[in-house]
């Protein structure tokens, strides 16, 4: 029987990489009426009114007892208003990113959005976070790494020193019934990974190489993961998002036709070693 050739991609999510048609990649498609009426985005910022392009002073805030007595605040240009919103956006990210080393990522990504280039974002910290997540998952039922390890141990042809091509489906099935790496754990609410990535959009898993010796094997498995740094209608309609000014500002900067700052792809990758012995699993 023929041996499986490497590199070999064993898994791809149904959602595609670089899908710029996704709902959270929409940009500048909503009017002021849409934002106010459909999404109830009336109180967006404590510093500026994005609809009138005016600064908000302590006297002009709705909860102030002097509200309305001083008229509107200083008139701003569209660029000045956007810069103030982005500064507030960064400031409000702090509660979601309290702990190093990943807490710096959200500010980098907000600044990346402010450049308005829609170029994808990657960073060594994201790659290291992905690798650490994969290696630390010790659930035999959910870990992609441990499930692949079981399949290698069970189906490697030790006499021929290879993995049979006819058993490719077993590798794919191992991933399909596992839990793909996502940053939705409790600690991710505070370490900066939940706010920057959280769930993921697309994942590709490729076996780059497999070396089989007399009694041991070593496989190198590559994970390519992509997320979208953007919000869709469903996101902002949820109370858990809408209640935070952080997300209201984000949504207005991205979706309001007067700003239209582009969302972007977040790319991360990691290669891990999977090793095992001939007698680890009995066939």
Predicted confidence (pLDDT) per residue in 113-135, tens digit: 999 998 999 999 999 999 999 99
For the chain, what is the mean pLDDT?
94
**What b/e readout covers 151-164, taking b as 16+ CB neighbours within 10 angstroms?**
bbbebbeeeeebbe
Q: Which pLDDT tens digit goes with each residue over 166-179?
A: 999 999 999 999 99
Q: Kindly state the tokens that stand for 24.
A: 């959270």
Banded model confidence at residue 68, pLDDT cuts 50, 70, 90: very low
Over range 36-51, report the average pLDDT: 97
* C-alpha to C-alpha distance for 1 and 257, rounded to whole angstroms: 60
Residue 216 and residue 277 in contact, taking contact as beta carbons nearer than 8 Å:
yes
User: Positive or negative, the Cα torsion across 234, 185, 99, 265?
Assistant: negative
Helix (H, G, I), strand (E, B) or coil at 58: coil
pLDDT of residue 69: 43
pTM of the entire structure?
Answer: 0.92
SS3 labels along 209-270: EEEECCCEEEEEEEEEEEEEECCCHHHHHCHHHHCCHHHHHHHHHHHECCCCCCCEEEEEEE
* CA dist list (Å): 123 to 201, 239, 256, 269, 270: 17, 31, 28, 10, 12
pLDDT at 5 > cutoff 60: yes
User: Mean pLDDT, to the nearest integer, of 59-67?
Assistant: 54
Examine the pLDDT at 218 and tell me if it is beyond 60.
yes
| pLDDT above 80 for 281 | no
Taking alpha carbons only, the member of 213, 152, 130, 145 closest to residue 179 is 145
Q: What is the pLDDT at residue 283?
A: 47
Determine the 3-state secondary structure of 38 from DSSP: helix
Among 101, 99, 103, smallest CA distance to 90 is for 103
pLDDT value of residue 70: 44
Answer yes or no: is pLDDT of 161 > 90: yes
Residue 164 has pLDDT above 80, yes or no: yes
Rounded to whole angstroms, the Cα distance separating 25 from 118 reads 10
| Per-residue pLDDT, 181 | 96
Cα dihedral 261/262/266/267 (nearest 10): -140
With a pLDDT cut of 90, the percent of the chain lying above it is: 90
């Amino acid at each position: 029987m023929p041996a499986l050739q490497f590199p070999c991609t064993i898994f791809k999510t149904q959602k595609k990489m670089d899908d710029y048609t996704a709902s959270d990649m929409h940009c500048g498609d909503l009017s002021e009426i849409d934002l106010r009426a459909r999404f109830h985005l009336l109180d967006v910022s404590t510093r500026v009114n994005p609809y009138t392009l005016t600064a908000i002073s302590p006297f002009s805030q709705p909860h102030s007892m002097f509200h309305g007595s001083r008229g509107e605040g200083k008139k701003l240009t569209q660029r000045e208003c956007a810069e103030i919103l982005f500064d507030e956006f960064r400031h409000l990210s702090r509660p979601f990113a309290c702990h190093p080393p990943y807490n710096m990522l959200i500010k980098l990504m907000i600044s990346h959005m402010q450049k308005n280039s829609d170029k994808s974002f990657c960073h060594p910290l994201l790659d290291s976070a992905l690798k650490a997540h994969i290696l630390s998952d010790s659930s035999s039922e959910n870990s992609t790494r441990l499930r692949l390890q079981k399949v290698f141990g069970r189906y490697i042809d030790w006499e021929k020193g290879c993995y049979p091509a006819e058993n490719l489906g077993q590798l794919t099935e191992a991933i399909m019934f596992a839990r793909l790496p996502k940053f939705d754990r409790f600690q991710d609410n505070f370490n900066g990974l939940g706010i920057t990535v959280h769930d993921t959009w697309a994942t590709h898993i490729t076996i780059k190489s497999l070396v089989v010796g007399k009694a041991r094997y070593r496989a190198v498995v590559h994970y390519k993961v992509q997320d979208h740094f953007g919000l869709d209608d469903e996101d902002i309609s949820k109370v858990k998002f809408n209640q935070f000014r952080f997300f209201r500002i984000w949504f207005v900067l991205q979706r309001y036709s007067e700003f239209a700052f582009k969302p972007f792809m977040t790319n991360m990758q990691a290669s891990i070693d999977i090793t095992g012995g001939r007698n680890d699993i009995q066939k």
